[in-house]
Amino acid sequence: MIVNACLRDGSGGSPTLVLPDGEFSDAERRALPVEHGTSHAVFLGPQGALRFFTSEGELPGCGHGTVAALAVLAADGTREFTLRAGARTFRGTAELTSAGVEAFFDPGPIQVREASSAERDAVVRALGTDGSCVIATLGRPRMLIEVPDVAALSPDLDLLKAATDESGLLGCYTYSGGSRYAARMFAPSIGVPEDIANANSTACLAAHLGADVTVDMGDSLGRPATITATSSEAGVMVGGLAVTA
């Protein structure tokens, strides 16, 4: 089924394919999101096992995919879940509401470091704008870069793919704002030129800032999405509203 994950005010969200896992080849898993017109697919295995695929291959994690999976798993009324992705076990929660399923999960430990000049210069050149940036690692490293206005960005995706490939980065998460942020995630290296909603990178932003954040995404793609992440001494929880399409 298709689940719209991380809706804003009941609309938009990132369409995500959610399927029971089976005897698929990895080539079939890569093809399925393309066939169904989604950027990602989530495969549900036994005992909360999750696998995430784009057209380019398997990912160690996918935030909005986890939100979508929780929405499907919560159909029987269960509220607390133990999930697995690869070797990692983590918790998720789901609350059935009149608007859909409010789903949140523990993305795991997040490491943040300053970006090197080489990493920064290559990405800034591709984005066509400057800003302070860090590298945040959650499963895979990605760059977080604060820019004056995310809506004004028109990155050279070929240059950005080369820059992120060279540095081994998942992609580039740009953000602007204050008490409420706007963000855009560019990840051409994994077959996603721009993500409608990226919950894992939003969790990275909360860890970087050491604060709770609400982030709007997807406006440039005509699919408004909102992700919320809370940061505490116990770690980060991240998620949003999901509904079955």
What six digits make up the tokens of 169?
Answer: 């980065």
pLDDT at 178: 82
Tell me the C-alpha distance between 69 and 92, whole Å.
10
- Nearest alpha-carbon partner for 201 in 130, 134, 128: 134
Nearest Cα to Cα of residue 223 among 192, 194, 191? 194
CB atoms within 10 A of CB 65: 31
Q: What is the DSSP letter of 221?
A: G
pLDDT-derived band at 245 (thresholds 50, 70, 90) equals confident
* Neighbouring-strand partners of residue 199: none
Average pLDDT of the residues in 163-168: 95
So what's the pLDDT on residue 177? 94
Closest CA to 70 of 191, 242, 226: 242
* Contact predicate 153/123, CB 8 Å: no
pTM comes to: 0.94
- pLDDT tens-digit map of 51-85: 999 999 999 999 999 999 999 999 988 899 999 99
Note the pLDDT of residue 136: 98
Q: pLDDT for 3-51, tens place per residue?
A: 999 999 999 999 999 999 999 999 999 999 999 999 999 999 999 999 9
Q: Tens digits of per-residue pLDDT, 122-148?
A: 999 999 998 999 999 998 999 999 999
233 confidence band (pLDDT: 50, 70, 90): confident
pLDDT value, residue 179: 81
